[in-house]
Each structure stands twice: as structure tokens, then as C-alpha cells.
Amino acid sequence: MTDTAARTAIDRAARHGYRRLVALVAVRTGDISAAEDALAEAFATALRRWPQMGVPQSPEAWLLTVARRAAGKMQRAAATAAGAMPTLDLLSQEAMQMDAPHFPDARLRLMFACAHPAIDRAMRAPMILQTVLGVDAARIARACVMSPSAMGQRLSRAKAKIRAAAIPFRIPDRDEIEDRLDDVLMAVYAAYGLGWDHGDAPPGQADLAAEALFLGQLVADLMPQEPEPRGLLALIQYCEARRAARRDAMGRYMPLAVQDRALWDASLLAAAEVNLKAASRLGRLGRFQTEAAIQSLQVQAEPGKPGDTLVLCALYDVLVSRWPSLAAEVARAAVHGAAHGPARGLQMLDAIAPDRAEAYQPWWAARLEMCLRAGDLAGATTARAQAIARSDDPAVREWLATRA
């Protein structure tokens, strides 16, 4: 066994299994930070031992065993230091949890702990992004328009509360699921959005879009009587189906209207339609079903056309009035501008408070399109510069620069 083989195996386990392993340990101990420490120790042990003993047959099972042992040791050490821990209670509790029937995925229980109503609402999605999907605090901070240090502190605080207040790692009962589900779905959606905006995963990090798709499927399967998980799954599938068409062969950004439809994933689109229909049959409209319906309409439109613009306007009106968000308001202005002329679109963009709008790239991008269509060259120049300055993606910057 060479160092290289061991390192490759460890890299692979870190990339594909790290978050699942953290969830498995945390669900048992109720302490996310301690689970992360335990995993770090397990990986360090693997780095030391695998080059000598060889890569174990199931690397993840090996890491899990070592991490659980480390977590148990840490807990007992803390207990002994305090002198008053009912260690027996803890051990029997652990034993009971080991025998408990396995939940499909420990990550789901971890998600519900992170989205618990006793956690600050603004921190529920970031908590899920970090603890379940392993997105680093700096990346979440950027997505949430917050400083990395503030985000780091608030994440630590939320983890400390889960541990100190003994927030349980369990699936909520039927009568309490609606509120809690909403936050879980929002976080999955946010994770998918990060994966979408930032393209390929940085080395060592799982592909967020694929992870979000997996989690979306998991929640939808677990709650067949809830329409919104299926609506969200459909929404993600519509977006994911078009992934390959987002760039042309030269790597240039391709907006929806000019994408090569041969590159769309037909089976994923069909799955999306099935999920959207299944959701709407349950007869309770929700935010994600509405967004999926918007996608469905755009996908089915004739090539080069935005779809039935009046229906699109109506769907966005519903979205903004019932589930308002900055993204929905900007998109609504864009479709109204396309349907009723740029003056109407600009008027709606101007109606959004500047302190919310001005840091938001899509607001400037929509403004650029409206100004170009209205022949307002001075307005277009400003909007173009602002939109480019707020884009991380070079392909999008290039596209914005050449819009005329």
C-alpha cells in the first residue's frame, strides 16, 4: 500500500461521504460541532494508519466507527471533567439509538434540527447548507450578503443552541410539519441556487446542485402527501435539465430563449412534469409549485419565444403577492416588461426599494434589458456597468458586455 493510494481513498471519502458521516454522528450525539471534530479526528487517524494497514474494505464504515468512538470519548471526557454526568444514562441512550430502526437518511433528521422553530429563522437555511451540505461559511455569507465572520459566529451560535437546548434530531409530527418543512425546502432551494450560480464544485466540495437534487428527491419521497416537496423537486429538475445548454461550445453564457434544446435532458424534463402534476393533484398551491409552473411554461414555449407572456405575468403576480421575494419581484418586472413594454418593466423595477435592489445583480441585468429596449442608452450604460460589477461569472460578464 502506497501513501498515494491511501490519500486517494481518503480524498474520495472526504468528497463523497464527509457530510453523511457528520450527520450520522451528530444525530446520535445531538452535537454538530462535536461530530465535526470527531470526523476530523477520524480522517487524521486514517491518514496515519491507512498507508500502513491498507485502505479498509469499506472506508466510510471504518471512518464512521472511528468517529463515533471519538465522539463518545469526547462526551465521556466532558462528563468526567464535570463530575456529575449521568454516564450510564448517556450510554443506554446511545445503545437505544443504535437499535432504533434506521431512518432513510440521517441527513434528513439533521435538516429538521437545523430548521427547528427554536433556531433563528434567518439562520435555518445557512445551517442546513453548512452542516448538511458542507458549504463553507464564506460561501454562504456571500450568498446571504453578510460578512464571513458574522456568518461564522451566527452558525456557531446556532450549533451551540442545538446542543445546549437539546433540540431533537427527529422528523416532526404531522401537525407541526408544515412550518418546519418550509424552511427545509428553502434551504434545499438555496443550496441548488448556489450550485447553479457557481457552476462546477470547487475541489474537495460535493457538487451542490447534485446534492440538492438528491435531498429534494429524499424529502419528496418521504412526504408523498405534501405537495410542496414535489413542487420543489420539479423546479430543481426543470433547471437541472437545462444545465448542459447554459453554455455553448465556446463556454459563452446562453440565456433560456437562445439555448440549444437538443442539449436539454428530456427524461429529467419529463420527470419534472410528472412531479409538478402529482403536486398539483394534492390541491394546495404553494410557492415552489408556482415557480415550477413558470418553468414548465417556459420550457414548453416555442423555441425563441418566452412562452405565453400573459400567463407568465399572472403566475409571477401570484408568486409576488403570496410569497414575496426580491428575486420574484425582479423576474416579475422582467416578464411584465416583455409583455407590456419596457416602460412598464422599468416602472416595476423602480417600485422596488433601492436599498434592497441596488446590491442585487439581476435587478441591474433586468434594468439593462429594459433600457436597451426603451432606447435609453445612458440608463443602459449605468445598468450594464453595475450588473457586470456584481457578476462573479466571467461568461455572464461577457454576455452583459455585448448586449445591445
Partner 1 sequence: MQYMIMFREPTEDFAQREHPAHKEAYWGAWGAYIGTLHAAGIVVNGDGLMSPAMATTVRVRDGRTVIEDGPFADVKEQLGGYVVIAVDDLDAAIDWARRAPAALTGSVEVRPVMLPNTLP
With H, G, I as helix, E, B as strand and everything else as coil, classify residue 240: helix
H or E element at residue 90: helix 87-99
Is residue 145 within 8 A of residue 359, CB to CB? The reply is: yes
If one asks whether residue 95 binds partner 1 (CB under 8 A), the answer comes out as no
Q: Under rule CB under 8 A, which residues in 117-136 are in contact with partner 1?
A: 118
Which one, 3 or 179, has the nearer CB to partner 1?
A: 179
If one asks whether residue 375 binds partner 1 (CB under 8 A), the answer comes out as no
- For residue 150, the Cα-to-chain-centroid distance in whole angstroms is 20
Nearest one of 370, 368, 392 to 380, comparing CA atoms: 368
If one asks whether residue 116 binds partner 1 (CB under 8 A), the answer comes out as yes
- Rounded to the nearest 10 degrees, the angle between the axes of helix 227-241 and helix 287-300 is 30
Q: Under rule CB under 8 A, which residues in 5-64 are in contact with partner 1?
A: none
If one asks whether residue 168 binds partner 1 (CB under 8 A), the answer comes out as yes
DSSP assignment letter at 261: G
Report the distance separating Cα 136 and Cα 113, nearest Å.
19
* Minimal distance, residue 124 CB to partner 1, in Å: 15
* Minimal distance, residue 176 CB to partner 1, in Å: 9
Which one, 167 or 269, has the nearer CB to partner 1?
A: 167
**N residues, the chain:** 404
Exactly one of 47, 77, 78, 359 binds partner 1 (CB under 8 A); that residue is: 78
If one asks whether residue 148 binds partner 1 (CB under 8 A), the answer comes out as no
Single-letter amino acid, residue 355 = D
Residues 6+ apart with CB under 8 A from 134: 18, 19, 22, 205, 206
Exactly one of 129, 167, 181, 349 binds partner 1 (CB under 8 A); that residue is: 167
Which one, 116 or 332, has the nearer CB to partner 1?
A: 116
Exactly one of 83, 283, 303, 375 binds partner 1 (CB under 8 A); that residue is: 83
Exactly one of 61, 165, 310, 389 binds partner 1 (CB under 8 A); that residue is: 165
Report the distance separating Cα 66 and Cα 75, nearest Å.
14
H or E element at residue 199: none
* Minimal distance, residue 154 CB to partner 1, in Å: 17
Exactly one of 57, 82, 101, 354 binds partner 1 (CB under 8 A); that residue is: 82
Exactly one of 44, 91, 160, 244 binds partner 1 (CB under 8 A); that residue is: 160
Cell numbers describing residue 30: 445531538
Nearest one of 10, 111, 28 to 70, comparing CA atoms: 28
Which one, 182 or 308, has the nearer CB to partner 1?
A: 182
Stretch that binds partner 1, among 158-166, 289-297, 332-340, 362-370 (CB under 8 A): 158-166
If one asks whether residue 170 binds partner 1 (CB under 8 A), the answer comes out as yes
Report the distance separating Cα 376 and Cα 366, nearest Å.
13
Contacts with partner 1, residue ranges (CB under 8 A): 78-79, 82-86, 116, 118, 160, 164-168, 170
